[in-house]
Structure 1
Amino acid sequence: MKNQYDSERDFKVNIFYNPANMLDYSSSSFSELYVDYYNQKDKIYRQQNGSEKQGFGVITNSYQKLNKNKVLWGSASYQNLKTKRIKYNENLDFDRVAPYISSDSVGGDLEIEKYQFSGGYAQKFNQVTLGAQASYNAQLGARARDPRINNTTSELNLKIGLKYAFYRNFDVSLYAEGERYLQNSKVRFASKIGQSLVYQMTGFGFYNSLFSGGTTSLTTVNEEYGYKFGGGINHKEGKDFYILAHIGQSNMLKSYKGTSNRFYDLSDLNKDYFEVEGAKFFQIADHRLGVKLNYLSNQTTGKEYGYTNNTQLLEQIYKRLSYKRDETITSFSLLYSLNKEKFSLSALPYFRMQEIKDQRINPYSGQKFEYSIIGLIIDYKHKIANNQVLTFRPFFDIKSVTSSKNALTTIDLSFLNNWINQDYNYLASDIQTIGASLRYDIKVEKIPALFVETGFSNSRIQSKNNNFSTVMVGITF
């Protein structure tokens, strides 16, 4: 169990983004299957994300060492959840498609089903290790009352990697990744009277007036293609030190289906990603120490298409830069672990500095935030009998706003102004989170090991409490 749920492996999880490094993921095989029930109730929340999530999932994953030079891994999951009181957002994956979302002022609850499949294989040939992984994710989102939603998403991801051992336990690794993401969104109204208006948002309450308004049915499509490259240098399979870097880019095109079944391009969303990380580990008797530095940059730009309807047919007349978002996160993390025959203990303290600059261009509207985040995760496992293990994981996370500024432009619709101001106040709020999980594992003869786990967390924001709870039951084998 210590090998299957290893805190150090979680600490350096970025190494295993390259499938060629998965041969070093674990020294033994393991699999698990479990059912998860969870409930989240928020008193202070972003309206576009909803106030409550409740659902269950069935999750399985496996890592199989075929021999010392071959490994096979995979995972699959199904989730069914209900998100309540969503407003101003008729899309799935808000953070991925924002600010170019479809919005209305009514909203409602949303039923969502999620499916996930992934699998990979790695093999070592003398000094060279090759690896590949494929994954597929899909979602179905629906609402049975006006405004009625029928949303689907699909995401296909392919990765290949290479690792070359070149000198005295040193190795260099490279990987390449490509992905395609598609979201089809349909909003319709059964009622012929009292329909709310649906707006094609362009950021900070502004919207595309030509393609917004009342209609019995509207369809939008978000299609994204992206790639990522990366590489690193490891010493002793990353157990002594490692340095790695990732760079990536993606482009998402949003289109609107017109009355003549013609699609009109509304916006392009371009994202640039860069990450670099380094870690060093020390072994002092039974004590294991680790130090990690990470820098992450996400840059997003959005371009809008403009049309004229002065002629019989809509004609595109411009495409211009209209949105920019820059985010940087600098992280410093530590690892301490101690392994004994009867127990193991690990502590992972961390500190992060985050800066977000979010702005619309022409007309200008924007906001800027600076955060400092400090936290600690503790993992304690105790062998209470030869066939029983108890795991306790307390944690805390304190997010402090060191600076918040805005220059928000007032628009002509008061309810959209209220939404943007409420969203700013949420993002400009300190959040203190504490929580813990407790897990019990037991191995009974001739059947797989059983486990049950329960967890709870509380987030304090604007003097209100947001609560999350979960219960899991499963087997390991």
Structure 2
Amino acid sequence: MFNKKNIALFLLCLTLFLAKTELKAQDKQADSLRVTPAYISWLQYTAQWQQGTNAAGLWQDSIMMFGRTKLGYNQEDGAFKMAQEPERTSQFNFETERYQKIGRMLFYGRAAYTQQKDKGLQYSDVLDPYRGTPYILADSIGGAWQKQLYALQVKAVSPAMAGQRLVLGLGATLNVGTGARQNDPRPLSTNNEITLTPGLTWRLNKSGTLGINGLYSHYREEVSLEVKNGNVNHYLYKSLGLGQLEFPTAFTAGASRIYSGNKLGGDVQYQWRKESISWLTSLGYRTYQERVADGTSVPRKSGTWKQKTYQFNSSLNVRGQNLLHRFSVSLQRLEDTGIEFHEFYDAATKTWKTLLEAEFYSSTCDQASFSYTLIKTQPENSFNWLAEIGGNYGSVDKTYLIPASKQEISRAEVWLTAAKNWNLPNAGNFQASIKGLYSKKLDASLLYIPITADRTLLAREVLYPDQAYASADYLSTTLNIQYGFKLDKVRNVRFLLAGHLTNRHSMTSDPAYNNANGNRNYWGFSLSALY
């Protein structure tokens, strides 16, 4: 259904559609002259509904109509990493987005394509081993992966109805990924996730607006392994969570696994606005269930992962004559459960029969963050400078029932950001920002007992190194620069040349595992057109 040719064609059509509607829009001419590079940064702090799940709230943000197309390159490397992360990752990115009024309706569209190369990736045959599921499939070899990632997003918003009180909205997102390795046992993984978020807002009075949206999401990932050299045995590892795994199996031909899950949920929002004050608060809940099956002709149940998500977000913007104060709080709790199936093969019926179905794995993850931002404003939705301070807290509590194993990790972070915006002659612009973050372990403990003495490989190679990484204190420094300019021959278009660099430095001395020491570097550059 979602093959690469169809997705590439859809991306091209969407890009041409966005460009075509941009040329036909009657109100775009005035807006494009007002949209500056600083406005893109400004939106991150003032468009309170834009990053949420209720598309109907876009009208509340009063976003100017503009489009942006970007080409970029990103790379990360270094020893300070988690065990199932690649030693080095490089990405080529293409992205285009646009806000557009068509008639009385408002639309937002985004399309993105990423070509990614991972080197030195071990103990993972899925596209993302850290997305939450305890049931990871891995082979004994590892190596270099080539991946292609596609993303499509659309939001459609109706005009105000019912006496200018009711607005309807619909959001849709499609993410598709493919990844493969070219050495035996040659894993190939393909996933797709589609999300729908219908929503509405209702204006209660001059100051209050109530919003509500639903959420449905379907995820599917198919993993297959193919062996070219049948004279060599390869081992397949099926994790059960917290370092536990099924008994390793040898194979010389191939293997397959399918992950399939559905998510349901919703959010409720309330916004209070009066003069220079805007306060938006939202509550959200999600429930997710994913089934894992090995094989296709006679599938065997290999686990069920369940997750409940609770979310709270609140942001308060207070705007004075020349200053904007922004306060933000975000809370999230994830509750995970892993259900195992102990089965045997019935030769008479040629099917797998379940002997035991029980919960063996559980996990609770709590995250909290807060920030305060002070922005010196300028006319035309721009800023002169900004300063920001924030803090994060996170804790993870994982348990495996039999044999009893337990992992606990908690840490706190504090960070500071400073940014400056310069307006240059001939509609030029230069922005620079720096961010410093300090991350401190508060508590870390691990009790691991293997199911049997010969099933400790994932604990040695993944669980213990990840515990050491999560227990390390570190400093992170990020630098961003962006230069905006115009070309005389290209009307109503601004070009942006940007670069970023992040260094994450471990402060752990003489660690037990090398991945808890050293540095991890993230850098990249991009060229964008803003119109």
- TM-score in same-fold range (> 0.5): yes
**Equivalent position SS for 1:405:** strand
Shift of residue 394 of structure 1? 1.2
**Equivalent position SS for 2:500:** strand
Q: Distance in 1 between matches of 2:403 and 2:393?
A: 30
The CA deviation string for residues 44-81 of structure 1, in whole angstroms up to 9 with x for no partner, is 222212111012011111112346x5311010011001
- 1:93 equivalent to 2:141? Answer no
- 1:30 equivalent to 2:66? Answer yes
Amino acid at match of 1:467: N
Amino acid at match of 2:411: Y
Shift of residue 12 of structure 1? 4.0
The CA deviation string for residues 93-126 of structure 1, in whole angstroms up to 9 with x for no partner, is 2222531011223211110000111111112221
- 1:434 equivalent to 2:474? Answer no
The CA deviation string for residues 261-313 of structure 1, in whole angstroms up to 9 with x for no partner, is 11111111001001112232323331111222221111111101111247654
Partner of residue 394, structure 1: 434
CA gap of 1:12–1:350, structure 2 versus 1, over 3 A, is farther
Of 382, 401, 404, the residue aligned with 2:422 is 382
Q: Which moved further from structure 2: 237-246 or 314-323? A: 237-246
The CA deviation string for residues 433-474 of structure 1, in whole angstroms up to 9 with x for no partner, is 101111111122341211111111100124411111101012
Partner of residue 180, structure 1: 218
Q: Distance in 2 between matches of 1:436 and 1:289?
A: 23
Q: Distance in 2 between matches of 1:452 and 1:279?
A: 31
Q: Distance in 1 between matches of 2:384 and 2:128?
A: 38
Shift of residue 152 of structure 1? 0.4
Partner of residue 417, structure 1: 459
CA gap of 1:455–1:345, structure 2 versus 1, over 3 A, is same
Q: Distance in 2 between matches of 1:137 and 1:304?
A: 28
Amino acid at match of 2:193: E
Partner of residue 323, structure 1: 361
Shift of residue 340 of structure 1? 2.9
Query: After superposition, where does 1:53-452 map in structure 2 within 5 Å?
Result: 53-66=89-102, 70-96=105-131, 98-123=133-158, 124-125=160-161, 126-209=164-247, 212-236=249-273, 239-257=277-295, 261-309=297-345, 312=348, 313=350, 314-340=352-378, 344-410=384-450, 411-419=453-461, 420-447=463-490, 448-452=493-497
**Equivalent position SS for 1:155:** strand
Gaps of 5+ in 1: none
Q: Distance in 1 between matches of 2:63 and 2:293?
A: 48
Partner of residue 20, structure 2: none
The alignment's TM-score, normalised by the length of structure 1, stands at 0.94
Shift of residue 317 of structure 1? 1.2
Shift of residue 393 of structure 1? 1.9
Shift of residue 344 of structure 1? 1.7
Partner of residue 88, structure 2: 52
CA gap of 1:72–1:196, structure 2 versus 1, over 3 A, is same
Amino acid at match of 1:408: Y
Q: Which moved further from structure 2: 276-285 or 345-354? A: 276-285
**Equivalent position SS for 1:17:** coil
Shift of residue 415 of structure 1? 3.5
Shift of residue 239 of structure 1? 4.8
**Equivalent position SS for 1:9:** helix
CA gap of 1:439–1:476, structure 2 versus 1, over 3 A, is same
Q: Distance in 2 between matches of 1:127 and 1:317?
A: 57
| Native 8 Å contact 2:65 2:100 kept in 1 | yes
**Equivalent position SS for 2:40:** coil
| Native 8 Å contact 1:4 1:26 kept in 2 | no
Paired residue total: 473
The CA deviation string for residues 412-442 of structure 1, in whole angstroms up to 9 with x for no partner, is 2453332121121111112211011111111
**Equivalent position SS for 1:457:** strand
**Equivalent position SS for 2:234:** coil
| Native 8 Å contact 1:305 1:318 kept in 2 | yes
Q: Distance in 2 between matches of 1:449 and 1:14?
A: 23
Q: Which moved further from structure 2: 217-226 or 376-385? A: 376-385
**Equivalent position SS for 1:180:** strand
CA gap of 1:421–1:475, structure 2 versus 1, over 3 A, is same
Shift of residue 10 of structure 1? 6.7
| Native 8 Å contact 1:7 1:346 kept in 2 | no
**Equivalent position SS for 1:47:** coil
CA gap of 1:445–1:222, structure 2 versus 1, over 3 A, is same
Q: Which moved further from structure 2: 108-117 or 393-402? A: 393-402
Of 452, 457, 472, the residue aligned with 2:526 is 472
**Equivalent position SS for 2:464:** helix
CA gap of 1:413–1:208, structure 2 versus 1, over 3 A, is closer
Q: Which moved further from structure 2: 164-173 or 238-247? A: 238-247
Amino acid at match of 1:380: K
Q: Distance in 1 between matches of 2:260 and 2:40?
A: 37
- Percent of aligned pairs sharing the same letter: 15
Q: Distance in 1 between matches of 2:476 and 2:414?
A: 11
| Native 8 Å contact 1:170 1:234 kept in 2 | yes
The CA deviation string for residues 225-282 of structure 1, in whole angstroms up to 9 with x for no partner, is 0012111110129952122111111100000106xx1111111100100111223232
- 1:460 equivalent to 2:505? Answer yes
CA gap of 1:46–1:15, structure 2 versus 1, over 3 A, is closer
Partner of residue 31, structure 2: none
The alignment's TM-score, normalised by the length of structure 2, stands at 0.85
Partner of residue 16, structure 1: 52
